[in-house]
Amino acid sequence: MGARGFDPSRLKAERTAGRLTQGSLARRAGLHEDEIGHYESGRRVPMVETVAALAKAMRIPPERLLTRETGRPSLAELRTMAGLNQRQAAAHAGGMPRGTYAAIERGEIAMPSDSQLAAIAEALDASLDQVRVAHGVSRAGYLARASSAGRAGPPSAED
């Protein structure tokens, strides 16, 4: 799955603002020139690691290549802005199991522990308050999806 919120038009705008050709950007990011064209046209969505490599190659923060889905970022968007995939974020969060991290990110866990939220904040280089708000956004999205599917999912101890 590609990076959530990736915006092809922002990639092109940042590349041209930096006076880079598709080829020069590809070389800097360790990619094939054709890939840049696919990303800019929207035919393909780069993986989170590729967004991070593109941003590094252009010397910009990864979030400049993303469009937020809401006014406040979800946990997935914070992770993408940090240039990490779920496996990396879980590992940086004190070796949290990936499944646990993924469930928290998707909003399936209503009340993650303070230590889990603190570990995620450190992994994403975000404040604890940013992570709490982002989890609230993720949780609201999860509940909306579950409601539209006609189920709220099995109750859990965290609910």
Contact 52, 62 (CB under 8 A): yes
Tokens representing 131 are: 């992570």
Please tell me the pTM assigned to this model: 0.65
Where does residue 150 fall: left (phi above 0), alpha (psi -120 to 50 degrees), or beta otherwise? left
pLDDT for res 151? 54
DSSP state, residue 103: H
Length of the chain: 159
Contact 74, 119 (CB under 8 A): no
pLDDT for res 156? 45
CA torsion sign for 9, 14, 15, 17 is positive
pLDDT for res 159? 38
Identify the CA nearest to 77 among candidates 103, 56, 48. 48
Tokens representing 26 are: 């590809």
pLDDT in tens, the chain (159 residues): 677 778 899 899 999 999 999 999 999 999 999 999 999 999 999 988 898 899 999 998 887 887 765 578 889 888 988 888 999 999 999 999 999 999 999 999 999 999 999 999 999 999 999 999 999 988 988 888 887 776 544 444 443
pLDDT for res 83? 85
Helix and strand element counts for the chain (H, E): 9, 0
Start-end of H helices in 18-84: 22-29, 33-41, 48-58, 75-81
Domains in the chain, CATH or no CATH each: 8-65 (1.10.260.40), 75-148 (1.10.260.40)
